[in-house]
Chains A and B, each alone.
Chain A
Amino acid sequence: MTPLLELINVDARYGPFRALFDVSLSIQPGAVMALLGPNGSGKTTLARVASGLVRPSAGTVRFDGTDFSGSETYEFARTGIFHAVEGRSIFATLSVDENLELALGRGRSRTEVSEAKDVAYALFPRLAERRNQIAGTLSGGEQRMLSLARVLAEQPRLLIADELSLGLAPIIVDSVYETLAHIRDAGTTLLIVEQHVGHALAIADEAVVLAKGSVKYAGAAEGAAAYSTI
């Protein structure tokens, strides 16, 4: 079976600084992979390579068998990759409604867009109440909800979630993970970058542990716990 996402001997740099060294990994369709590692180990960089934000300086990125190594970010997005980036992943100057409109608007007719938005609002009534609020003024938890709402409404093929639980209260973290499980059940493949090792490994089938930009462990999720004593 062709892997959905495949990174082969990938190197990545920021100017003169090298952040990834010869990293390889592959995710099967429908799987959930946890990406673990201490601070500064290159998890975010790897996520960025997988969504086209950072172009690898060497190596290959394949999505569903097609080579994407030199492609633009929007091409990654159009094949069905969605990257919920570390920190703020919504447009702070746009309203909640405009954020959804922007995320769901491409390639849909007017009525289809409003149907998709209704799906999102039905799942998160909190957002429906605030549809005209400027998204930058939403609370941290509500902002995560907004980025997950668009995922639920659209069902991308691969969701890359970078530190979704960062700065959230434990109860909210639980609900975020419930939503992730929901998204997985609907058929989306997941790549979850996490500091909360316990949470991530609970949902993951496979895990990759990075250290100083190289892969230290790749395999079943159960085996990763030993490596990720951070």
Chain B
Amino acid sequence: MEKFLSALIEGMSFGGVYALVAVGLVLAYKTSGVFNIAFGAQAFVSGAIYYQLHNRSEWPIIPAFLLAVVVAAPLVGAALDRMLFRHLRTAPPLSRLVVALGLLVAIPEVVGLFFKVTQATQYKGIVPGGEIVYRPLSGVAITRDDLSIILSAALVAIGLTILFRYTSLGLRMRAVVESPRLTELNGIRSDIVGTTAWMLSSFVAGLAGVLLPTVFQQVSVINYTTLLTAAIAAAVLASLTSIPIAFAGGIGLGILQQFVSRYLPTGNVFASNVKPSLPFIVLFVVLLFKRSLSYEQGLKDPLAGVDPPPPVPASAVRSRELTIGTRIFGFVVGTWWFYSVLFLWNDIWLDRTIRILIYAIIFCSIVVITGMAGQISFAQATFAGMGAFFSAQIATKQGVSVIAAIFIASAVAAVVGALIGLIALRRRGIFLALATYAFALFFDNTMVRYDWVGGGIFAIESQRPVVGPVDFARPVPGSTTRDTAFLVLVLVVLTLVGIAIIWMRNGTTGRFLDALRGSETAAASIGINATKARIIAFAVSAFIAGLGGGLLASYKIQFSSLDYKAELGLFWVVIVVTLGPRTVEGAIQAAAGFVLFQEWVLPTAIPWLYNHALPFADITAISIGWQQIFFGLGAVTYAKHPEGILESNKTASLTRVQGLIDRFKSRRDSEIETASV
């Protein structure tokens, strides 16, 4: 009984944390229509401010709390709304999710510019004497900090329930989410309501931000994002609409976790893995069985038709001359690059080029799932990881040739991809994205630990392939041979993948996916099988990611799960979405951006430019964080430019060039005409 009670109480204090975040997520979705995956990042802002003021500058609790939670957090929310989300009220939910994802990537780095996260330990919470322990019953202990979390979560849940049940503000917020214009037709200012909604949900994020670090004793963004996953399960259980269910779900999950860890036998891998993966299992089960999450028809904004249609992609505005021109340009640049890599530049650039090509293969998988199918998958790094781990396992343990092993591993990834597509089948796109996220975290936290996946405590290695007489082995340092064979190998694979994608785009599946991106209902009514097309897209995408992941492992030989972490997968989506998610060309650009930004642009190119522009300046390197900020803010433009910023700039300049060509042509035509007259 004692064991039971103490598990209950301790579970509740963990559950309070989940509940607070889950309530915050539901609030944000209900009042702004955004699944705010950046909720943890926003919480981190307030946590960092509070730590800076209270711990470091020794402000008293109340002013520090007021500034961090009551002033700063809503200000951040208002700023985000004014600058971003206000323009996205009629954008599709998935675009809004991508924008939030960009923020998730960028915000912590922006905070990091001002706030030293290292050594942000010994966090002091918002109640004095937080570490004081209460013992309501023998064997049951709870600290004052834990109590403050449970109480705050309960107060927030009650307050919000009242807001939605009994006030007109709550009603107006929900109305604005459905249709800002229809709300305006009722004489209500949708922009003010929308900004208020963001301020409110950011306040809850800020509150979570100052409460949660007491659990971990430190202020670190990872803790916030990890928490998010458990909260997502509770929020999905509440269908992203019910505040009380989200609260109860969070508390329940905390309790369940405590019980599992106390009552399950210890000592085997399975049992020790159940606890951390519980939220993902719960999320999966909920997604599988909860019917109210299914695709809702006709719930689009009835006044979405007031907006003009989005601009056409670059390829559609080009004339034949221009297409040939850009192709020739691309070919020349490519040839120049490869010539330089082979004959002029050193091995560092050879290495970079190979990795760019491998990442381009992986990013092609994002082109398939996001660019073609219009879905967001957060598990692409995990599919790549599956390609890596499984191929390494098969090659080393079964002695299968590496190339064959990579194919087998990619096939496994494809099957898993198809299964995830199947689970989230009749769910709204947002839940599909969450399912992939849950899977990625599940793989990261649990699967990788198994001997037959990530090798457990023993690291595993991949190998370089041998195909017939060609040995792709890594050159011995100091020898004159270079890694060119591998370069050719990845180039061939990338070309094949590119051809496959173009073939798929022009084939039935591609057409189906195009139609589905337009309107699911309309597509279904002309007999397009959404299910099949979408599952094919998921499987193909996972397969391509597996190929790239396997090749990366084989190229690096020594690799680790860090190369395929879920967070990395998020960043990949961000970078591809920024640089062009619609084309293979875009994937290559994104890969070049990913590799070169970190290794060359920030540490070498920018300081060089800067020091030359300002003769007295002497900077050595730019913080790597700028990469996240740059691309994170790039992804924020996704809703306006779903074809990617680079692509949209290309369109703009191409339209200009096209205009010149047309003018030239018409002048020539009129000259010909006058001549013939």
Q: Which residues of A contact B (CB under 8 A)?
A: 13-17, 48, 51-54, 72-74, 77-78, 82-83, 85, 87-94, 98, 101-103, 105-106, 136
Contact = CB atoms under 8 A, between A and B. Distances in A.
Given A14-B308, A48-B306, A74-B190, A91 B175 contact: yes
Contact of B186 (A13, A52, A93, A102): A102
A101 B166 CA distance: 11
Given A87-B302, A136-B299, A78 B187 contact: yes
B178 A93 contact: yes
Contacts of A82: 185
A79 B338 CA distance: 68
B299 A51 contact: no
Nearest to A54: B306
Interface in B280-317: 298-299, 302-303, 306-309, 311
A77 B171 contact: no
A102 B175 contact: yes
Nearest to B170: A98
A93 B171 CA distance: 11
17 contacts: A15-B311, A53-B306, A73-B181, A73-B185, A74-B187, A77-B187, A82-B185, A85-B182, A92-B298, A93-B178, A94-B171, A94-B174, A102-B168, A102-B186, A103-B186, A105-B168, A106-B188
A204 B491 CA distance: 72
A158 to B, nearest CB: 12
A109 B187 CA distance: 16
A119 B171 CA distance: 21
Contact of B302 (A85, A94, A98, A102): A85
Contacts of B181: 53, 73
A101 B311 CA distance: 38
B184 interface: yes
Contacts of A102: 168, 171-172, 175, 183, 186, 188
B179 interface: yes
Contacts of A101: 168, 171
B56 interface: no
B184 A77 contact: yes
B590 to A, nearest CB: 28
Interface string B111-152: 000000000000000000000000000000000000000000
Interface in B637-675: none
B189 interface: yes
B175 A15 contact: no
B184 A91 contact: no
Contact of A53 (B175, B177, B187, B303): B303
A48 B181 CA distance: 11
B364 to A, nearest CB: 32
Given A91-B174, A92-B298, A93-B174, 17 more contacts: A15-B309, A15-B311, A53-B303, A72-B184, A73-B181, A74-B187, A77-B187, A88-B302, A91-B175, A91-B178, A91-B182, A92-B299, A101-B168, A102-B168, A102-B171, A106-B186, A136-B298
B26 to A, nearest CB: 15
Contacts of B186: 77, 102-103, 106
Contacts of B303: 53, 85
Nearest to B309: A15
B188 to A, nearest CB: 6
Interface string B155-196: 000000000000010011011011101111111111000000
A93 B299 contact: yes
A77 to B, nearest CB: 4
A85 B185 contact: yes
**Complex A-B, nearest 10 residue pairs according to Cβ-Cβ distance, in ascending order:** A15-B308, A77-B187, A73-B184, A14-B308, A88-B302, A74-B184, A78-B187, A105-B168, A93-B178, A106-B187
B302 A89 contact: yes
Contact of B189 (A17, A72, A91): A72
Contacts of A90: 182
Nearest to A15: B308
A77 B187 CA distance: 5
B265 to A, nearest CB: 47
A102 B171 CA distance: 7
Nearest to A104: B186
A130 B547 CA distance: 56
A8 to B, nearest CB: 22
Nearest to A150: B186
A102 B175 CA distance: 8
Contacts of A54: 306
B178 A92 contact: yes
A74 B174 CA distance: 17
Contact of B185 (A77, A87, A94, A136): A77
A144 to B, nearest CB: 13
Nearest to A13: B308
A98 B172 CA distance: 10
Given A15-B309, A101-B168, A74 B188 contact: yes
B171 A98 contact: yes
Given A78-B187, A91-B182, A17 B308 contact: yes
A49 B172 CA distance: 24
A37 to B, nearest CB: 18
Interface string B434-451: 000000000000000000
A136 B174 CA distance: 14
Contacts of A48: 306
A81 B288 CA distance: 47
A16 B655 CA distance: 14
A102 B187 CA distance: 10
A53 B304 CA distance: 11
A50 B185 CA distance: 12
A53 B306 CA distance: 7
A86 to B, nearest CB: 8
A142 to B, nearest CB: 15
Contacts of B189: 72, 74
A45 to B, nearest CB: 9
B318 to A, nearest CB: 18
A145 B186 CA distance: 17
B175 to A, nearest CB: 5
Contacts of A98: 171, 174
Nearest to B307: A14
A94 B298 CA distance: 14
Contacts of A77: 184-188
Nearest to A156: B187
Nearest to A88: B302
B169 to A, nearest CB: 10
Nearest to B182: A91
Contacts of B302: 85, 87-89
Interface in B250-302: 298-299, 302
Contacts of A78: 187
A88 B178 CA distance: 12
Nearest to B183: A102
Contact of A105 (B171, B309, B311): B171
A73 B306 CA distance: 12
A93 B174 CA distance: 8
B317 to A, nearest CB: 12
A93 B537 CA distance: 31
A112 B404 CA distance: 75
A75 to B, nearest CB: 8
